[in-house]
Amino acid sequence: MGGLLRSGLKFGMLKLFNHYVPSNTILQLMFDVTLLFVSVVVVFLLQTQLDESLVRVVVPSALVFAITMMVLNGALGLYRAGSGADLRETTVRVLISIVLSVPVAYGIFRVLPWGEFAHEAMELDVIALLGFVVAVRGFTMRKMGVGVLAKRVMVIGTGADAVAVEHALTHPANPSLQVVGFFPAGSGDEVRVDPRRIVHYDGRLLAAANDLRVNEIIVAVKERRGGVLPLRELLECKMAGIKVLDLSSFFERVRGQVRIDSLRASWLIYGEGFRQGLGRTLVKRVFDIVASLILLALATPVMLLAMLLIVMEDGAPVFYRQERVGLNGRLFKVTKFRSMRRDAERDGKPRWASANDDRVTRFGRIMRKTRIDELPQLFNVLKGDMSLVGPRPERPFFVDQLTKDIPFYAVRHCVKPGVTGWAQVRYQYGSSVDDAINKLQYDLYYVKNHTLFLDIVVLFETVRVVLTGDGAH
């Protein structure tokens, strides 16, 4: 684990349970947990006489408190890569984190067994400290991951794929990766990048990489025949300790996608991932049942209120049932709260749902924004037709169309569809084939790498989407 951690931190991403997490996010979480833990202990030491009972009770309680609060704020998007790109967005995110974390902190403070040592002044000090940590972290996210931690990347290729790589690396989500130049793959390589950033070097690739102090090389060229790629020189660089990634591995690591345009059937067959296994299936099913029962118990008042408001605005029926494609192409009836008018498809022709769909009722828009309309799908989860996390279940009409138009589209049906999913929290409303392709790339990442850990990450991301409306679908 130590070697894995060092490797991940060195190259900007850490792979935890098959899922890539930005290493600077891990460092920020560890720093904030440590700061909050130490500060809480210090608050108690300054106001209470030190003895064995204090250490035995306060120290583990402070650790539980610090971890819980940072996990909560992580779920609210405080540590999300690229979340601090805009000052207004940052301010809103920090305010939401403070408003929601302070009452939770007060409740945790009361529950933990340090009550005999604590008094009101301590509670106020600890809560004020928590607010300070959240505010400082939120407003410093934009500047984290640069400078001494920045990793220097050289791209092999100068065409459209190289442009896509540069766009991904210049995104606020990847502040610790810096493109230092583009190395031509051959005389026939098209030039789509800025010519001024092309590396003109007469020597070998390794010499150029050493001169530019390169940490990673991204091969942004699909064609591998006819000597287009300097394979021997790439091997030389790898043996010298420079990380070399192809397009598929790069986008999987940096964007959480399995790109269609760089995907080959052999990679699906021989590569890692895309394994189900009885153990994984059993764990996921148990988790789905337990979590769904808890969510249904908590959401019952909200669901009853939603039913009342639907009837008041547009009458019955309250529920909307529709045929969808599930695991291995099996059809089932999905149940949702009705968010559209009763005559939404009076012509009988299926239509894409869109972000500003004029068929959606006023309360329906609120339900879609907050995902309240998805809550009845928890009964589909209990029945076994769906999972809490998985690809979005689509209608047979669209599945038939997309399977014909998009390579590997059917792969998403290798797992159960989900109430929420990696694609749903990473991409906005989809109303076209291009949108379906983009969402499929996230779905393929989930199918390839899905674990209980990734399911929990998606559920945390869903909380963020519901509370902030960021990219909600």
Domains detected in the chain: 2-143 (no CATH), 147-255 (3.40.50.720), 278-468 (no CATH)
pLDDT at 289 over 90: yes
145-155: pLDDT as tens digits:
444 456 889 99
pTM above 0.85, yes or no: no
Asked, as a colleague might, if the bond just before 376 is cis with ω within 30 of 0, I would say: no
Give me the pLDDT at residue 188, please.
64
Highest mean pLDDT: which of 53-62, 120-129, 349-358? 53-62
Q: What residues have CB less than 8 Å from 380, skipping those under 6 apart? A: 332, 334, 335, 386, 419
Span of 5-9, 80-84, 267-271, 431-435 with lowest mean pLDDT? 5-9
Highest mean pLDDT: which of 41-50, 180-189, 370-379? 370-379
Give me the pLDDT at residue 61, please.
84
Residue with the bigger pLDDT between 50 and 287: it is 287
Q: What is the rounded CA–CA span in Å between residue 416 and residue 22? A: 28
Q: What residues have CB less than 8 Å from 213, skipping those under 6 apart? A: 152, 180
* Angle, in degrees to the nearest 10, between helices 452-468 and 87-111: 110
Residue with the bigger pLDDT between 313 and 346: it is 313
